[in-house]
Chains A and B, each alone.
Chain A
Amino acid sequence: MKQRIIIIGSGVAGLTTAGVLAENGFEVVVLEKESRIGGHVRKWDRLFPNRRPANEVMEFIEKVLNSSVDLRCGVTVNGVIRHDEEFIVLLSNNETVTGHALVLATGFQLFDAHKKEEYGYGIYDNVITSAELETIFKEGKQLTTNEGKTPHRVGIIHCVGSRDEKVGNLYCSKVCCVTGVKQAIEIREQLPECEVFSFYMDLRMYDRHFEELYYEAQQQWAVNFIRGRLSECSENPDHTLILKAEDTLTGRPLKMTVDIVILLVGIIPDPETGKIASMLGLPIGTDGFLMSGDEHIKDNTTTIPGIYLTGAVKGPASIVNTIADARATAQQITSRFMAG
């Protein structure tokens, strides 16, 4: 009899793990709370750093899935029972699934920009999030103000909900800096007459080709980078927005009017993760993400044998890192069952 692995979450991490496990001869059940698989990437238009269409990655991942993968959408986990060497997962549709290992790939949520009240999201109509901008691009629409005007100036605000003690998130979300640079270029591509101003604390261009993209944004696309955190956003009578910040390179306060503000929202743990972790008794870090068995050498395992972690359930991660992590998880599970 084939070993059956249950994966909770069908984003890049969950589906990649599922694909590799299926190739390695396992039966796989993937549980997804949304009505369709794909997670956040399905909503994204193009990916950093090379601006390739996001759907190319999704197509690649889905291609690997074979008939051994049972995808179940629209279900959440109501309970998990450990019985001998098996896990019995109770689903919201009253069904149960039994497996020999459990992989948590519940990923992340985007920070709720309403919480940064001083930025005016949900109050001023021309304040939008990076995810909403991505939707505009994905739908092939032109970026306009809420009043339908072509913007002359756009402000991009980094670290919204990341590295911010005030909202309780001390950690870096890793992917927002480069997303902001990518989106700044894309705005300039779409609207060559529109000036783009990026307000940042420091730009964490940590991975391959990120720094090159940052240079390209400055040299080729004339994106303005201002080292300063936004202190507040307010609205003019004509619905343009006033930004106040301190330019920490010149050491002077700065006040600027823009037509649209884009908030680069950070990554937070999915609430579903905490719920499942408490069912299983898994430790949660101070940042709210799950703790692995060992942060250095057993990053895909947990303190409970047979339960594995993969992807952004352990903290913010890029797609490249998530795919590598998912493959490692799949390989670790394969090794365990091959060894008997």
Chain B
Amino acid sequence: MNIEGKRRVWKDYQKEIAGDNFFYVRSCVRQNFFPGSEKTFLRILKEELHKDIFENAAHTTCSGIGYHSDIVPFETTMTIVARQFALMTESGYENFATSCITSFGLYTEILETWHHFPEVEERIRKHLKNATGREFSKPKNLSHASDIIFKFRKEIAAVGKYRLINHYTGKPLRAVEHIGCHYSRMFPSKGIGGAEYPYVLIGMIEDWGGEVIDYPERRHCCGFGFRQYLIQANRGYSLSCSKKKFDSMAPYKPDFILTNCPGCPMFLDRWQYTISEMEGITYGENGHGIPVLTYEELAGMILGYDPWDLGLQVHQVPVEPLLDKMGIPYNADSKFLNKEGASMGKPKAPSFLKFY
């Protein structure tokens, strides 16, 4: 593999990412899947980078999951999104920052639709006005939260306490990066690095000291794929997709998987447990799994945040082997304690996957 060839592609796909004054919209599912990620993002922007980032409590789902599952019509989805833009406008912001990849893809798709079909935009404006009395301006800048962490990756590295270097060997940790489909596959020019070789996560990994693995099934679906999982009869297909990826990446011995989508870390994490229970297979070293992280969690680890404040204890695949490799201290006894110090209950240990 010729890295210069990739750098050539990366140069072709750059985008403008706002530097401050963000209107932030959360994901409707991420707080259930990885509860510390969005909070960590806000903490990094406010406390480390000293940026203005604002949330509006009236924000709702973008309806992207319903739209991509053919449940919510596009016209309805566009009106819901128009309402989100109205909230941004009313709050006095112009830079829209989304936590969710599907939302990011959907907002991009709608802005592109309106760009090419202004009559649709006019119709949606009327729908919103009739339904809510609201009006809106379109965002001046639309960025995914991973774009923003990418933009400030060097600043994070500069104040970080840890690097992606193996504490025991001194060598770079090896990472698999997996990009959400809706980040750049629909609109390659809207993603850092384009659709085929996205750079957004690679940039973070490289600048934080790690090494990226290119493996044959890198582009393959994580296993979510909406209908593959949402339709119960298709879940075997979801599991097969994830297994195909694990089988393909395992020979490269990755130390962790980094993602920027709500669904990808969920399935790449949970299905490792399922596969281990079904087949007795584990993909990490010595019976461990391969830890799966969101970019906010990884940034928080680099910055030295307490792993349990990041929500790493709710991962199905234990992250302790990675914490050990990075030299990050943690209190094993407080892993399943809540903020008040009371026990949240300890999950039952899996049959094969090594558990802490």
Contact = CB atoms under 8 A, between A and B. Distances in A.
Answer whether A and B are interacting partners.
Answer: yes
Interface of A: 114, 117-118, 120-125, 232, 234-237, 242
B197 interface: yes
Interface of B: 1-2, 4-6, 8-9, 194-197, 214-219, 251-252
A123 B1 contact: yes
A117 B214 contact: no
A124 B194 contact: no
A118 B8 contact: no
A122 B2 contact: yes
The 5 A-B residue pairs with the shortest CB-CB distance in the complex, in nearest-first order: A123-B5, A122-B5, A117-B196, A234-B216, A242-B216
B9 A117 contact: yes
B216 A122 contact: no
A123 to B, nearest CB: 4
A232 B219 contact: yes
8 contacts: A114-B9, A117-B194, A117-B196, A123-B5, A123-B9, A232-B196, A232-B219, A236-B216
A124 B214 CA distance: 11
Nearest to B2: A123
Given A120-B5, A235-B1, 7 more contacts: A114-B5, A114-B9, A122-B2, A123-B6, A125-B1, A234-B214, A234-B215
A122 B217 contact: no
B5 A234 contact: no
A123 B1 CA distance: 5
A126 to B, nearest CB: 10
B117 to A, nearest CB: 19
Contacts of B8: 114, 122
Contacts of B251: 237
A212 to B, nearest CB: 38
Contacts of B196: 117-118, 232
Contacts of A242: 216
B contacts with A: majority SS? loop
Nearest to B197: A117
A277 to B, nearest CB: 26
Contact of B217 (A117, A125, A234, A237): A234
A235 B216 contact: yes
A124 B1 CA distance: 5
A37 B123 CA distance: 60
B186 to A, nearest CB: 13
Contacts of A237: 251-252
A120 B1 CA distance: 9
A283 B351 CA distance: 72
Contacts of A235: 1, 214, 216
Contacts of A232: 196, 219
Contacts of A118: 196
Contacts of B218: 234
Contacts of B5: 114, 120-124
A336 to B, nearest CB: 47
Listed residue (B195, B216, B218) with the most chain A CB atoms within 10 angstroms of its CB? B216
Nearest to B219: A232
B63 to A, nearest CB: 29
A12 B34 CA distance: 64
Nearest to A117: B196
A111 to B, nearest CB: 16
Contacts of B195: 117
B197 A123 contact: yes
A117 B5 CA distance: 10
Contact of A124 (B2, B4, B219): B2
Nearest to B251: A237
Nearest to B4: A122
Contacts of B219: 232, 234
A117 B1 CA distance: 14
Contacts of A122: 2, 4-5, 8
Contacts of A120: 5
Nearest to B214: A235
Listed residue (A117, A118, A125, A235) with the most chain B CB atoms within 10 angstroms of its CB? A117
A235 to B, nearest CB: 6
B2 A125 contact: yes
Nearest to A234: B216
B307 to A, nearest CB: 32
Contacts of A234: 214-219
Contacts of B217: 234
Nearest to B3: A123
Contacts of A124: 1-2, 5
Nearest to A119: B196
Contacts of B6: 123
B62 to A, nearest CB: 27
A99 B8 CA distance: 43
Nearest to A121: B5
B318 to A, nearest CB: 27
Nearest to A257: B216
B217 to A, nearest CB: 7
